Amino acid sequence: MHETKKIIIDTAFDLFKEKGYDNVTLNEICEVCGITKTTFYYHLSSKNEIISHFYEEVTSSLADRLLEVMTAENYWEQIMALFETLIDCTEKIGPGMLGQMMIMNLQKDEGTFDFDENLTKVAVIIIERAQKAGQIRNQSPALPLYKAAGHAFEGYELIWCIKKGGYNRKTTLRNAFEQLFDVEPALRINNEKKGPA
């Protein structure tokens, strides 16, 4: 990525986190970056485009954590590590900016919430291994199971935005996924919520 473009994006992210997306103007971004609007528009088409670059960071973070994910104690923890990495990334930008990303995609599908092909392949392999090992007892085909989990994850992200970050997503998601995947009871965080035997 061109250095000036990276500076604009990083500066805008900081301003969005500090003041909220709607409270930051294009003029303010340019002023803090020490650039003109012409320079801004040379590199980016709008404030919304800045938000679309968020998933570049997500992909990078997942790639950086892939070794950690693959060396987790068991397959179930590997699956949770993938989703928890996504949670960690959205924690950095906050519910306001994630909410704006959702609004942007409601207005025009930017593909932000599409399933990443490589991440999907990795997740499907891990789910299949977890099923074979008996860690996941839901024996539905791995791809639709992963997609159901992904859509559930997006729903929890939406609620997090609506509640302005007012709950622990990792615990809530883990409890929901333990039910969805029918995780072997010994691997569950809260063994009182064992689900079907």
- Kindly state whether residues 15 and 82 are assigned to the same domain: no
Our count of domains for the chain comes to 2
- Same domain for 26 and 100, yes or no, is no
- Whether 192 is covered by a domain: the verdict is no
Domain with residue 18: its CATH number is: 1.10.10.60
Q: What's residue 197's pLDDT?
A: 35
| Co-location of 114 and 126 in the same domain | yes
Q: Are residues 11 and 65 in the same domain?
A: no
Distance CA 118, CA 122 (A): 6
pLDDT confidence of residue 72: 67
Instruction: Evaluate whether residue 43 is within a structural domain.
Output: yes
Q: What is the pLDDT of residue 92?
A: 78
> What are the φ/ψ torsions at residue 18 (nearest 5 degrees)?
-75, -45
195 is a domain residue: no
Low-confidence stretches of the chain (pLDDT beneath 70) = 1, 55-61, 63-64, 66-68, 71-72, 191-197
Residue 23 shares a structural domain with residue 72? no
Indicate yes or no: pTM above 0.85: no
- 20 plus 109 within the same structural domain: no
Say how far residue 128 (Cα) sits from the centre of its chain.
22
* Domain coverage including residue 133: 53-187
User: Is 31 in the same domain as 57?
Assistant: no
Does a structural domain hold residue 153?
yes
Residue that is last in its domain, among 49, 66, 84: 49
**89 touches 9 (CB < 8 A):** no
pLDDT digits (tens, 9 = 90+) for 48-71: 888 777 766 666 667 667 666 776
- Within a domain: residue 140? yes
Give a yes or no: residue 31 inside a domain: yes
- Three state DSSP letters for the chain: CCHHHHHHHHHHHHHHHHHCHHHCCHHHHHHHHCCCHHHHHHHCCCHHHHHHCHHHHHHHHHHHHHHHHHCCCCHHHHHHHHHHHHHHHHHHHHHHHHHHHHHHHHHCCCCCCCCCHHHHHHHHHHHHHHHHCCCECCCCCHHHHHHHHHHHHHHHHHHHHHCCCCCCHHHHHHHHHHHHCCECHHHCCCCCCCCCC
